[in-house]
Structures are given as structure tokens and as C-alpha cells.
Amino acid sequence: MPATVILGAQWGDEGKGKAIDQLAAKSTWAVRFQGGNNAGHTVVYGDTTLKLHQIPSGVSSLHCSMVLGDGMVIDPWVLEEELDRWHELSGERPEGKRLFISERASVILPFHRLYDSADKVVGTTGRGIGPAYRDRIERVGIRFADIANVVDDVEYLQNTSKRMNGQLESVGVDSRIEWEKLQNDLKWILERYSKSIKPTGLMVDFALRNGEDVLLEGAQGAMLDIDQGTYPYVTSSVTCRANATHGAGVHPGHVEQCFGITKAYTTRVGNGPFPSELSLEKGAGMHMAKIGNEFGTTTGRPRRTGWLDIVALKESNRLNGYTGLVLTKLDVLGGLDEIKICIGYEIEGKLLQMMPTTSIELAKCKPIYETHPGFEAMTESEWIVMANKSRVENTGFGALTKDMLNYIRRIEKLAGVPIVSIGVGPDREASIASINGPFDLPENKEMF
């Protein structure tokens, strides 16, 4: 069976966790292929809110095995905290049983977090992601497969700590790494995760060849891609479809479907250009932030808000070739008198329908909007009733009001990609799927 890719189609925080959770109901494997604990996926089941940072969102489907893939950088201490929270919630310890860590994944160490804390420009999460990827590119980083070979090599540990301390000093960080502490950290990692560290690329390849369904889960969003995003205000890994199989350790021929997750509006965390940005102090921007609870899952930082940017969405589709879009947070727009869509940019008197390459140019772009009628606000329970009605009566998007449906169809036409699911609230049930589409699925009966 082919693999399915789920990606963020904007600047991250689009609601990928919920979509991945839904598709995990029919998947036997869920694989994170890049990033680290700078990502945050939230899944809501009634009164239970599950916040994930490194564990794949398929964790709640108890039949689904999970992989922290080759392309990831993993913080073992944060992972332990996450696994402990999952154990408290579910009673399960999945490590080494259905949760596996790629032996090729890189280890985030205290040094990486300390070095990252010196950033004052990009607006990183400070989790050590960029420095860990930098060490990988410089071929001095430690992978999980390497720990057993270096943990008792005193000369290696002394040289490594010396290199780390020199770099910390160069960026004005006072803390230092002692080689004995580095050794103890590596011993703990090896002891804690030895049963989980596996050649996961081979495992995923075998599963695909055996006819199993594999979900490849991205973090962040396409516009944060290190190569194709709004550089330098990007993350430190390739977030796009091209890296999905590579970061999982299998070939790209396995992929048949690729779903992009986009909000019904746009948000961005951290620094960087954002043409359709609105004020968080008043009007529609404040409405989106308040109603949408726009705060980062990982950092708690307030997200900048703005109207849906079709230029960025088309750029995202160019890079990823989406077979379908999942539109999230349509409910957040309820109560606005009018809704706008950014359909182009104006820069120094010129009209653009594509994103410029540099962030300096993008920051100069002014949005060109088209305006659509708004629709009434509804309570969370009313949205769930609408979603359940669409499933029971098999009406799909027919459950939406005329103005909602017109907005959806316009996005499809402008983006050139069909919308296959619409999120109308944080709860797992608050989704409306297209009839007989990929998200028109039976409820997962193996939820924890």
C-alpha cells in the first residue's frame, strides 16, 4: 500500500495533529520525518487535550506503531517528559513496543539548547534544533547509533566538550559543558532508550512492502522550509514533501497522496515577513487570535494573525503537489461581517501573484484582497452538531451554510486543489469531510 504524507501548508500551527490523528485510525504506522520538539501538535478528545512535541500524533490509535525518523533531531529529556505524560493519561509505555527511535536521528544535547539561547534574530524556539542540525551538517553531531561507540571514549568526549565550550564562548553564553557530565548524559540516554533505538527505515520499508498503511507526518509548515521558505526566518530542516520519504528512510515512489493542512486564515509565530498580517489589538486580527486561541503549543507565544494568503498557499502547492487540502478553524471566522482573501501582492507599483525570493522584498509587499460575506458565529457544540449531521446524513459539505460553502469553493478555485476536510472546532468530532473522500472515515474504536 502507498504511504500518505501530511504537511503544514502555511507557516506551521495549522492543526496537523488533528488531521494526522484522524488518518491514523486506518494506518498501521505513523512516522515523524523531520524537526524536533520545536513542533507542537494538539489533539482534543472531548475534555482531554493531548499536546505532542516529538511523539507522532498517531499515538492515540493503539494499533498504530510510531517512528521518530531518520531526519529528526530528538531531545531525549523532553521525550521522556512526553512519554511520562502519555503514561499518566493512558497507562501505556509504548517505548520499544510500538514507539521506535531511528538510530540515524540526531541527539539534542544541553549544549544545543544553550547555544540556541543566544539567537536574537530569527526568533527560534530556543530548543536547540538549529544547532543540532548544524552539527549534523558539519558531521560532528552524535546520532543515536553512535552513542554506544563514543560513550566510553574519554578523548572523544574531552575534544567534543572543548569544541562545545569554544562555541558557547563565541556567542556570549557563560555556561560550560564538562566532559564527565556529557558522558553521564550519553549513558543515561543509552540506558533509557536502548530498547527503542532501531533501524527504523528498514522497518518502515518492510511495512510498506507488506501492504501496510504508513502515515508520514511533517512538522512546522512549507513556508518554514530551510530551502524554499521565507529565509532566514525559517526552521532548520526541509519541511516539504520531498523530505518525507527521505527523512523516514524509504524511497519517494511509495507516496501516492499528500495532504496540505491550512487554516481558513493565516498565522505566523516568531519573526519574518507576513503580507496579510492584521493587528492583534483590534478588528479581525484580534478576533482570530482570541476565538482561535492563537498561542503556540510548544512556546506559548502569541501567533500573529492575518487573512488567508492564496499566494503563499499556491507556492506551498507548487512545492508539494497536494492531492487535497484540509481547511482548519473555519469556525473561528464565525461572527465576522466580512472575510477577505489575499489574492496577490503589490510592491513598488508592480503586481505580483508569486512570492518573491527574499524576505526583504516580501516585507515590502502589500496584500491585494477580495472580500466575501461573513457568517454567523456558532457555539462549539453547535459546530459539532453540524459535523455529526454531515456524517449521519452523508451530506458532506452540504451541511455548511451558503456563505460558508461559497468561501470554501472560492479557496479551492484559487488554490487549484480540492478541499477534502474542514475543521470546525478543536474536538476530534468537529470535522466535516467530503463525501467518500480520504477523511470520510469510520470512528477509531481503538482510542486510548
Q: What is the mean pLDDT of each run of 10 residues along the chain (448 residues)?
A: 92 90 90 90 72 88 96 97 93 96 98 88 79 97 98 98 96 95 98 97 97 95 97 95 98 96 95 96 96 78 94 98 98 98 96 96 98 97 95 95 98 98 92 92 56
**What CA–CA distance (Å, rounded) separates 396 from 276?**
30
Q: What pLDDT score was predicted for residue 445?
A: 46
- pLDDT number for residue 440: 84
Return the pLDDT at 29.
97
What residue ranges in 311-405 does DSSP mark as E strands?
A: 324-328, 338-347, 350-352, 366-373
pTM: 0.92
What pLDDT shows up at residue 296? 67
| CB-side neighbour CA atoms (13 Å) of 38 | 34
DSSP label of 222: G
Residue type at position 200: T
Beta pairing partners, 262? 327
| Interatomic CA distance for residues 161 and 435, integer angstroms | 57
Which grid coordinates belong to 431?
470535522
- Residues 133, 106 contacting (CB under 8 angstroms): yes
Identify the active-site residue in 21, 41, 135, 331: 41
| Residue 209 backbone dihedrals phi, psi, to 5 degrees | -65, -20
CA distance 38 to 128: 9
Give the separation between CA 421 and CA 437, rounded to whole angstroms: 8
- Give helix 154-170 / helix 179-193 axis angle, nearest 10°: 110
Are the CB atoms for 390 and 439 separated by under 8 Å?
Answer: no
Return the pLDDT at 48: 75
The reply to whether 185 belongs to the active site is no
Domains of the chain, earliest start first? 3-77+200-433 (3.90.170.10), 106-193 (1.10.300.10)
Q: Which residue has the cell 572523544?
A: 156
C-alpha cell of 399?
451541511
* Catalytic residue list contains 41: yes
Nearest to 73 by CA among 43, 115, 42: 115
User: What per-residue string of b and e applies to 90-122 under the rule 16 or more CB within 10 Å gives b?
Assistant: eeeebbeebbbbbbbbbbbbbbbbbbbbeeeeb
The pLDDT, as a whole number, for residue 38 is 83
pLDDT at 301: 74
